[in-house]
Homo-oligomer: A and B are copies of this chain.
């Protein structure tokens, strides 16, 4: 198992970890198979989406902020971050990747993103590569 450590900068942001995930794969030596990227936090997730135009992430965070408000009066969890947990549930805390010829198989516009929903914090991501 490999670990990526990252430092997020604001409460909600998507941080591209595509290069770090590819580095982990390269070190593993696996040429064909699959990988699981797993976020061990409950207020941050992982996703695969467009890495070309940063406005896609901006719009995604706008939608999430508008539809899952931090200050919903009915929320009872007293840390004030129920919205972060819900966003994590909706996006999920892991992504699955396919490996061919020692490379991540990604579409032309895709990248792997760490989804920070309650930063800024130091965060970890775990990776496991399986030969197929």
Residues of A near any B CB (own CB < 8 A): 1, 32-34, 36, 38-42, 47-50, 53, 55-56, 58-60, 62-63, 66-68, 72, 74-79, 82, 85-86, 88-100, 105-110, 126, 128-132
Known pairs A42-B107, A49-B85, A129-B132; A75 contacts B62 (CB<8 A): yes
Closest 5 pairs (CB-CB, A-B): A40-B107, A59-B82, A55-B77, A42-B50, A130-B132
Task: Tell me the number of copies of this protein.
Answer: 3
Q: How far is the CA of A93 from the CA of B53 in the complex (A)?
A: 18
Q: Give every chain B residue within 8 A of A79 (Cβ-Cβ).
A: 53
- Determine if A94 and B91 form an interchain contact, defined as CB atoms under 8 angstroms apart: no
List of B residues within 8 angstroms of A60 by Cβ: 82, 85-86, 89
Q: Which residues of B are found within 8 Å of A88, using beta-carbon distances? A: 49
